[in-house]
Structure 1
Amino acid sequence: MHIPDGFLDAPTSLGTGVLAVGAVGLALRQARKELGETGPVLAGLVACFVFAVQMVNFPVGAGTSGHLLGGALAATLVGPWTGVLVMTTVLLVQGLVFADGGLTALGANVTDMGIVGVLVGYLVVRGVLAVLPRRPGSVVPAAAVGGLLSVPAAALAFTAMYAVGGTAPIPLGRLAAAMLGWHAIIGVGEAVITAAVVAAVVASRPDLVHAARHLVPDLELVDAEGRRTVVRADAPVARRSTRLTPRFAGGLLAASLVVGGGLSLLASSHPDGLEYVGETLGFGSTATDSAAASSPLAGYSLRWLGDGTWGSVVAGILGVLLTLLVGVLLSSMAGRRREGLEGSQTSAGAEGCTEETLVGSEQSERR
């Protein structure tokens, strides 16, 4: 659903750009609370994974295709504010390096997929979790529903932007019906992919899933004398055990490289939902080439190697690595003050944890 240059007029593009800058600035402040002990690396890995999976368009029918948006997935894994940074990273790399989405429309794309897609997806996830059993596995169906609804929500957000500043006279009712209809179907694919990824992470490291951290069971420790100590999962000492191991990080990066540099070759060549709607309703011709169209990696193919398989493979791998780097750097900006804040809270947190631990120990001994 990448909006190209030319679909929206200059005032609308400027307005969404201002909105996007403000939202990203707010996300940089709020994401400090979400980064936790994993730091910016997990955010960068999620960004490069979303980038890779977005390269794989799946057929929808009637000559159109869809691809993962990733907003609900990112929000579920790393939190809504960090999720905004993740999606912004992906869209920056796609727009500036691969000419996927217009440069003047970059603010519109961040607003549409990086803000609406993330926040709607996360709100749905939390809403579904409120009625499901309190266990980490409940995050999987919740994330699926969040992914399912986030895509048509983003489609309606584009419709609203087009209603304000579309460059072609298209009946709003027809545009809304077409966007919502096709993207509701694409949302099914989004739900399946999101659920599969979240299920894999929850099965191996539920403590790394932002939406599941408050559902992780409390820890029960037994000392040499057989005394049991209960440590709440949300206590500071429990949070400190949440570390991104080299094995997990390497596995996620390897999966991203395989998808971006290999499975992307199987992507459908049909236009995605927005392109198809534009062609069907007659405003597709208003799209203009991006200023990044001369990039060596434009179109997800390294021009120096031609338009063949190797050009696509190398472009996908370079895109994954570049997205990882940008994602880590952007998330690091959010975490700069985190160390100072944590340092000032360490003593208070340790005292609270000690008190909780003693209470848990006393209750265990009484039982």
Structure 2
Amino acid sequence: MHVPDGFINAPVSATTAAVAAGAVAVSLRGARRELGNERAAPLAGLVAAFIFAVQMLNFPVAGGTSGHLLGGALAAILVGPCTGVLCVSVVLLMQAVLFADGGLTALGVNITCMALVTTVVAYALFRGLVKVLPRTRRSVTAASFVAALVSVPASALAFTLIYAIGGTTDVAIGKVATAMVGVHLLIGLGEAVITALTVGAVLTVRPDLVYGARGLGQRLKLRVHGELVDAPEPEPSPASAAARSPRGVWIAGLVASLVLAGGVSFYASADPDGLERVAADHGIDEKAEEHDAAGSPLADYGVKDVENVRLSGGLAGVIGVGVTVVAGTGVFWVARRRRTGHGTDASSPTDTPTNTPTNTETNV
């Protein structure tokens, strides 16, 4: 759903750029709280790289139309809403600058619709569902599915509203809204499946690394003189600290991202995505402009002068994953360093594993 240059006029593009800049600034402050220890920055960078990789996997939906992951819900649930906004924003910036995907003047529109709206809507709905559902990992996965599903048509509605204010062609906004929401509901199903499977997989192996699952576990209770009190936390042993290292998850996630972007992406659907289809059907694309980075060596997710299509696309995907994980990790490392003050570590909920709720009670 990357908006190209020329869809939105200059004043509204400038306004959305200001909104996006403000959202990024606020998210940087919030991310300092969410990035609690030295392990958080690489994991957040990995989430950005994974979103970049999965966005290359367009899947067919209906009538010669495809869709792809937006990633706001996935990022917010895995690493936090503020960090999630930054994750998707880093991806959009890399795509616009290196791959000519999403206009440069439309970057504010894309960050507003694809990073800000999806993350805010998804995480608000996710937290609401988690509060009313049973406190289990299965509930977190189910809430992830619903939140991701709703976030995609919400993003489509946000674009429609922006286009109604600053669109460069005269179209029937009601018909555009109906078409955008309809096709993006179908795309949202794909987003929901990808998000739920990913969150569920991480919950299975490392629930303590899922930001949205923090606080689901309950402390052991002791009954002292007839009153229940929290039991003291046991001292972590060196073995348990090593077991909590996220290195294995990080390596597995990076390998999966490289495989998806470097190999599986070759089999992605070549059909236009939801926005492209609606734009073509309703005349929104009449004043679309050529991307300023159209001559980039990586434009259109291929390496210039590499004639083999499979190799060209695969190399571009691998380069994109590498650049995104480095750029994302750098952004999050700087945010965390500013929070802790010259790299001094701070305590964080990520140091405490998240477990399925228990109602253990011991009498003393």
Residue in structure 1 matched with residue 257 of structure 2 by the alignment:
256
Give 1:216 deviation, angstroms.
3.0
Deviates more, 1:123-132 or 1:266-275: 123-132
Change over 3 Å in CA distance of 1:271–1:313 after alignment to 2: same
**TM-score of the superposed pair, with normalisation by structure 2:** 0.88
Give 1:333 deviation, angstroms.
2.4
Change over 3 Å in CA distance of 1:143–1:219 after alignment to 2: same
Give 1:32 deviation, angstroms.
0.8
Residue in structure 1 matched with residue 49 of structure 2 by the alignment:
48
Q: CA RMSD in A?
A: 2.4
Distance 1:163 1:145 in 2: 28
Asked if 1 retains the 8 angstrom alpha-carbon contact of 2:31 and 2:83, the reply is: yes
SS of the residue corresponding to residue 195 of structure 2 reads helix
SS of the residue corresponding to residue 337 of structure 1 reads helix
Residue in structure 2 matched with residue 26 of structure 1 by the alignment:
26
Give 1:131 deviation, angstroms.
1.3
Q: Which runs of 5 or more residues in structure 1 are unaligned?
A: 221-228, 234-239, 354-362
SS of the residue corresponding to residue 303 of structure 1 reads coil
Residue in structure 1 matched with residue 305 of structure 2 by the alignment:
304
Give 1:152 deviation, angstroms.
0.2
Change over 3 Å in CA distance of 1:231–1:76 after alignment to 2: farther
Q: How does 1:8-87 map to 2 (within 5 A)?
A: 8-37=8-37, 38-87=39-88
Give 1:345 deviation, angstroms.
7.4
Question: Is 1:160 equivalent to 2:187 in the alignment?
Answer: no
Distance 1:248 1:140 in 2: 18
Distance 2:87 2:148 in 1: 16
Residue in structure 2 matched with residue 359 of structure 1 by the alignment:
none
Asked if 1 retains the 8 angstrom alpha-carbon contact of 2:36 and 2:346, the reply is: no
Change over 3 Å in CA distance of 1:217–1:252 after alignment to 2: farther
Asked if 2 retains the 8 angstrom alpha-carbon contact of 1:72 and 1:118, the reply is: yes
Give 1:283 deviation, angstroms.
1.8
Change over 3 Å in CA distance of 1:287–1:338 after alignment to 2: same
Change over 3 Å in CA distance of 1:167–1:333 after alignment to 2: same
Give 1:138 deviation, angstroms.
1.5
Change over 3 Å in CA distance of 1:106–1:244 after alignment to 2: farther
Give 1:304 deviation, angstroms.
2.6
Percentage of identical aligned residues: 49
**TM-score of the superposed pair, with normalisation by structure 1:** 0.88
Change over 3 Å in CA distance of 1:19–1:253 after alignment to 2: same
Change over 3 Å in CA distance of 1:145–1:204 after alignment to 2: same
Residue in structure 1 matched with residue 325 of structure 2 by the alignment:
324
Distance 1:125 1:6 in 2: 35
Asked if 1 retains the 8 angstrom alpha-carbon contact of 2:89 and 2:111, the reply is: yes
Change over 3 Å in CA distance of 1:215–1:279 after alignment to 2: same
Distance 1:185 1:295 in 2: 32
Q: Which amino acid aligns with 1:60?
A: V
Q: Count how many residue pairs are aligned between Structure 1 and Structure 2.
A: 340
Asked if 1 retains the 8 angstrom alpha-carbon contact of 2:144 and 2:196, the reply is: yes
Change over 3 Å in CA distance of 1:343–1:99 after alignment to 2: closer
Q: Which runs of 5 or more residues in structure 2 are unaligned?
A: 222-229, 235-240, 353-360
Residue in structure 2 matched with residue 182 of structure 1 by the alignment:
183
Greater fraction of residues in helix: 1
Question: Is 1:334 equivalent to 2:335 in the alignment?
Answer: yes
Change over 3 Å in CA distance of 1:210–1:219 after alignment to 2: farther
Give 1:245 deviation, angstroms.
2.3
Distance 1:249 1:344 in 2: 20
Asked if 2 retains the 8 angstrom alpha-carbon contact of 1:260 and 1:316, the reply is: yes
